[in-house]
Structure 1
Amino acid sequence: MATAPGTCGLVVTGTMTNAALLFAAFPETAGHIRLSIMGGGFEVGNITRFAEFNIYCDPEAASSIFTLPALSGKILLAPLDLTHTVLATAAVRSTLLTPTPTLFRTMLHDLLMFFAGTYARVFGMTTGPPLHDPVAVAALLYEDGSDPALGFEWEECSIEIILQGEQLGKTVMWPVGAAPDNAHDGKKVIGEVVGESGVRVKVGKKVNADEFWRVMLAAVDVSDGVSPLNV
């Protein structure tokens, strides 16, 4: 709260419980910050066939955030539909180890190799594992177009969360202020949803994966230079 309004950002890369508690306990923070969330999926799930893990684990917390009027216009969402387009390919993983395979770079490479095996085995994604959380960080940093080469594209909509039934934790989007029966693109679902919220959320639809990795690898270069692992 000591920062200028709108200059402080919060990135949520897991279950939204703590963020929801923050806004419930200190409601003045909701109108003060910008919020970027990695979570949800409209055409894909990863914990059930309907739901993404971060939403599924506490759907009530997610619902409270997506329907909080003070956050309208302040939320960015990086769903699986977006993060699954940013893959840590073999070429990317190889680049991580250059010019020198330091302990820091080796750690990052080994983590990606672990997830590469998981995604190949569980999801059949053999090109490489998607990179989820850093997309939400990049969205917050570059949503203003300060690095236009990243090519972020957004769709403004309302988000609702299915709170019971087989589709528990599913994210649903439709035009701001529209009722569930009018969900756009035929994304109407069966289940219990919170009513019309009118809260505006910017959903990430596209990013230039090559340019994203340019930004990420530049960050790795900086981090590698100061990592205590390399001491």
Structure 2
Amino acid sequence: MMGEASQPVGVKKVWLDCDPGHDDALAIILAGYDRRLKLIGVSTVAGNQTVEKVTLNALGVLTAAGLRDIPVAQGQAKPLIRAPQICPAIHGDSGLEFHDGGSMQDYAVGSPVLEKAVLYMHSCISSHAEHERVTLVCTGALTNAALLVTLFPEVLDSIEIVLMGGCMGTGNTGSVAEFNIQSDPEAAKIVFECGVPLTMVPLEVTHRALATPGVLQRLTARPTPFLQLMHKLLLFFAQTYRDVFSFEHPPLHDPLAVFYVACPEAFKVKRMRVDIETCSTLSAGQTVCDIWGQSALAPNATVALEADISTFWEAMISALLKADMVSPLKSPANPV
């Protein structure tokens, strides 16, 4: 990773707040290796699995991808007021398992920082936001982000938020609700109403970023331990998505939020009002998108409508190949 003195002009500083499952793993790698971004830290939140498990997953991804200098802060173990929910049907018991057994936790080296995530996020983001906003990319429940903007309102002038979450119509784990927002609707409401520049990359966009056989073939063209690991990761994800959602190929949700920060020109977007449903027993976590501008309330979000998926895959594959060049993996059975 480049030091502060040598950082190229125009590179955006990114903090990634996530719940590392299979697509979060690729989001971490894209944030770490896209030349337009500088990843300054990773925080974890319960979601795809418990916070302890996803924190180990984050350490495993960073180790395998040659990004061990990136600090990891363990965040909230449950939503602000609701019971926690996890997603083992898609991501397995560890939260990040492989097609032929084992998990990303097998590759974890090191430990998270001792400080609580929200405190560490605030101090780190503040130290990097002297001349420009740091982009907080959220690819899990918004619990950490909600606490950050509530406890430290001064950070509102230092960040913008780009999140993978929500939907304009059909949900995934709810009829009209997407998993990340549904996991902590109250936190999402706080974040959407806090006043920071906010961009939402919803299911309607991420469901088009499919890991097709052609994509998987590009990962097997160079039979290195790291790329083999990524291939096994995507095979597991493909099978569970096929079993649970009947998708022929799995969508990579979370890297699209990172890609938006790197390449916003690859997206078609629209400013609109987005409100979060927190009261209904039928639709808690629904992102109510005022597509036609009928709300009396001012727009509070930029919502992605379309993305150039071929350009995304070029960026994603490029990041994976860069990680492969520096990965410490020696063999699949001997991580470092």
TM score, norm. by length of structure 2:
0.58
For residues 155 and 39 of structure 1, what CA distance do their matches in structure 2 show? 16
Alignment match, 1:168: 284
Contact 1:75/1:202, CA 8 A, preserved across alignment: yes
2:273 aligns to what SS in structure 1?
A: strand
For residues 190 and 252 of structure 2, what CA distance do their matches in structure 1 show? 26
1:4 alignment partner, one of 103, 118, 130: 130
**What do the CA deviations read for 1:2-60 (whole angstroms, capped 9, x no partner)?**
32354311110100000000001111112211211010112221111121110011000
For residues 30 and 177 of structure 1, what CA distance do their matches in structure 2 show? 26
Letter in 2 for 1:168: A
Alignment match, 2:229: 107
Letter in 2 for 1:221: L
Contact 1:158/1:176, CA 8 A, preserved across alignment: no
For residues 253 and 162 of structure 2, what CA distance do their matches in structure 1 show? 12
For residues 293 and 175 of structure 2, what CA distance do their matches in structure 1 show? 27
1:76 alignment partner, one of 199, 207, 232: 199
1:154 aligns to what SS in structure 2?
A: strand
Alignment match, 2:301: 201
Contact 1:176/1:200, CA 8 A, preserved across alignment: no
Contact 2:133/2:157, CA 8 A, preserved across alignment: no
- How many angstroms does 1:178 deviate by? 4.3
Structure 2 gap segments, 5+ residues each: 1-125, 331-335
Letter in 2 for 1:26: F
Alignment match, 2:29: none
- How many angstroms does 1:142 deviate by? 1.5
Alignment match, 2:258: 137
Alignment match, 1:154: 269
- How many angstroms does 1:175 deviate by? 5.6
1:120 alignment partner, one of 222, 242, 251: 242
Alignment match, 2:149: 23
Higher relative contact order (CA 8 A, sep 6+): 1
1:30 aligns to what SS in structure 2?
A: helix
For residues 218 and 185 of structure 2, what CA distance do their matches in structure 1 show? 38
Contact 1:9/1:34, CA 8 A, preserved across alignment: yes
CA-atom RMSD, angstroms? 1.7
Aligned length: 204
Structure 1 gap segments, 5+ residues each: 146-150, 181-195
For residues 292 and 155 of structure 2, what CA distance do their matches in structure 1 show? 23
Amino-acid identity (%): 38
Contact 1:67/1:199, CA 8 A, preserved across alignment: no
2:246 aligns to what SS in structure 1?
A: coil
For residues 177 and 203 of structure 2, what CA distance do their matches in structure 1 show? 10
- How many angstroms does 1:134 deviate by? 0.6
